[in-house]
A and B are shown apart, each in its own frame.
Chain A
Amino acid sequence: MNRSAASLGRIGAVARKELVHLRRDRLTGGMVLGVPLMMTLLFGYAINQDVRHLRAGVADLSGSQAARFLVADAQATQVIDVVRQARSVDELAHALVAGDISVGIAIPPDFDRRRLGGERPAAQLLVDGGDPIVLGAARTLADLPPDRRFAPVAQHGAVSAPVFELRAYYNPERRSAVHIVPALCGVILTLTLVLFTAVAIVRERERGNLELLITTPVQTPELMIGKIAPYVAIGYGQMTLILLLGRFLFDVPIAGGLGTLYLAAGAFVAAALTLGLLISTLAQTQFQAFQMAFVTFLPQILLSGFMFPYDGMPAPARALAQVLPLTHFLRVVRGIVLRGASLGDVSGEVKALLIFFSLAFALAVLRFRKRLD
């Protein structure tokens, strides 16, 4: 009869000790409340399947009043914001490749005649098919009711074709693998690379190696670069593996140049590794480093445009997303792999990644002291 009481006592002792650990480890204690709070806010803001305010461009070659009404109607749905006027369909397509817009409205010179004829769609809706949610949103535009302000349309109402012909670029068959695999490349690299370096310095601290290392002539930047260097090669290896799997298992074509992709990916790999390194200089134990890395993962996955389109998120979430390396890399990798973008097309994103790398590296070097106090 006493055995179960003794057992309960021992369970209680272990549980109480566990609570003491939790209370003494401020970071873990903070995560008890911090993580649910932060994640709920992020999820609440970011999960938005009802996408609005997609950036759009218009190439109006007809110059007709009806075309202007059509664009105004499309804007009135709030699904798109017209941010760009193009002079030709080519220019529109190029803006789409560069990722400046995700929807293009091309209005042909004979728009009025087509509209009145009613046999063919009067205009084209060019959509970045790389993102199924954007594609879905664009489809609601294509379903716009025929313009009521023009009586002639009403006369032909029964037989009229839809106003827009939808043309999904880059993924005409609308397969999700085409959309997912390149982005997955960025997500997987983030998950692995950040963890590699997040434990890099804190592990030496925990094992006592650091006390010796900081009494040697090794300089802080040398230590940091040496810690990152091998993982750059590993990152490239992982990326190659994912792209090969995508190509041969999921039939994901690579539209752009491989050289371009590898060059641009270097900036991302460096940024992700340096984020890990920065975590490693902040954490006191490997466990804390894991926790901190985890805290950076969820926002990257939720806000980067991997799960939900960047354009659909509210301004604060977008602002946060701009700070995250994955956001920029997703634009790079989708641009190059799906849309065949050139290095010039994605140079802005690469620059952002390089800035992130430089700042995080400088911070990590500053945070790391060759001292114990």
Chain B
Amino acid sequence: MTNEPAIVARGLTRRFGRNVAVDHVDLEVPRRAIFGFLGPNGSGKSTTIRMLCGLLTPSAGEATVLGLEMPRDAEKLRRKLGYMTQRFSLYEDLTTLENLQFLASIYSLPRATARARIGRLLDEFHLREIADQRAGTMSGGQRQRLALAGATLHEPELLFLDEPTSAVDPQSRRDFWETLYSLVERGTTILVSTHFMDEAERCHELAILDRGRVVAAGAPEKLMREIDAAVLEIEGAEPRAARAALERNPAVRSVAQLGTRLHALVDPQLADPVQSVADALRAARVEGHVALARASLEDVFVAATRHAQAGQDA
């Protein structure tokens, strides 16, 4: 198959009144991979996904999805696209089986194909025991498995998952990601939005969104490796006092407390960040042991969003 990107967006923008929800977003989503949108609530993740599936008309910019121009060719995309909405959108008063059979008919699957696929999905997503249970009475994890089964029933090339795991316990979340990897193995391209760092770390590629803009993009390891900050960990008896001392220092971009430890992002231009921070602590008469640490995705996220804020304020 073609190796063109599954999604290309240029300057994608969406305004709601005076509020800019998505601000000149450029994207290139490779095929057969999991691409993640990481961002807080209101960062424009859902709005971008909705524009990419042709549900919302962009105020500016353009998007090509599987070679189809959005929103003009939205109808042609329908059969190739599976969409799992943020809110459970199957029918709560229908059973698992009824919901899946309804979707099979809507996608005009031949009867035999539908029966075979529904049977396979029931096994694969562990829905067999709740096949005759109404969706409204299911747990968050069960509903999510049903929703993903529904979104993949017509074997789409492209899958949009809008915060799929927000109502799901950690074990279900792990199983869910296993399923996503096996879908990718079979050739599916997946775009998933999340505000969980651990989940973002599982993606092949990431775009970090903040207030409608892409503030960082790339593979998670690369983002962590090339973080635009020095990451330090400070261990000491008085973390609150140490924190107060560090926050007064202009070279320190952010400080977060993790139990008794402090986690700080520091200006990478400093010649010796460890020494500078240790000096700052000594000047404030606070004891603490300073060491370099490996950047986490959260650090990347904080560094990227702080940066954007600073850039905007300037």
Mark A residues whose CB is within 8 Å of B.
207-218, 370-373
Contacts and interface: CB of A to CB of B under 8 A. Distances in A.
Contacts of A372: 50, 55-56
Q: Which of A212, A214, A217 has the most CB of B within 10 A?
A: A212
A212 B83 CA distance: 7
A209 B85 CA distance: 9
A207 B135 CA distance: 13
A213 B83 CA distance: 10
Interface of B: 50, 53-57, 71, 74-75, 78-79, 81, 83, 85, 87-92, 103, 106-108, 150
Given A370-B74, A371-B71, A215 B56 contact: no
A371 B75 contact: no
- Dominant SS at the B interface? loop
Contacts of A218: 106
Contact of B106 (A208, A217, A373): A217
A211 B71 CA distance: 15
B55 A217 contact: no
Contact of A209 (B74, B90, B107): B90
Contact of A211 (B79, B85, B106): B85
Nearest to B55: A372
A320 B256 CA distance: 70
B56 A212 contact: no
29 contacts: A207-B92, A208-B85, A208-B88, A209-B89, A209-B90, A209-B91, A211-B55, A211-B83, A211-B87, A212-B83, A212-B89, A213-B89, A215-B53, A215-B55, A215-B78, A215-B83, A216-B78, A216-B103, A217-B75, A217-B108, A370-B55, A370-B74, A371-B54, A371-B56, A372-B50, A372-B55, A372-B56, A373-B55, A373-B57
B81 A215 contact: yes
Contacts of B83: 211-212, 215
A370 B150 CA distance: 19
B56 A211 contact: no
Contact of B78 (A208, A209, A217): A217
B81 A371 contact: no
Contacts of A373: 55-57
Contacts of A371: 54-57, 71
A217 B154 CA distance: 11
B219 to A, nearest CB: 29
B222 to A, nearest CB: 32
Contacts of A370: 55, 74-75
Given A216-B78, A217-B79, 19 more contacts: A207-B89, A207-B92, A208-B89, A209-B91, A210-B89, A211-B55, A211-B89, A213-B89, A215-B83, A216-B103, A217-B75, A218-B106, A370-B55, A370-B74, A371-B55, A371-B56, A371-B57, A372-B55, A373-B55
A340 B143 CA distance: 57
Nearest to B82: A215
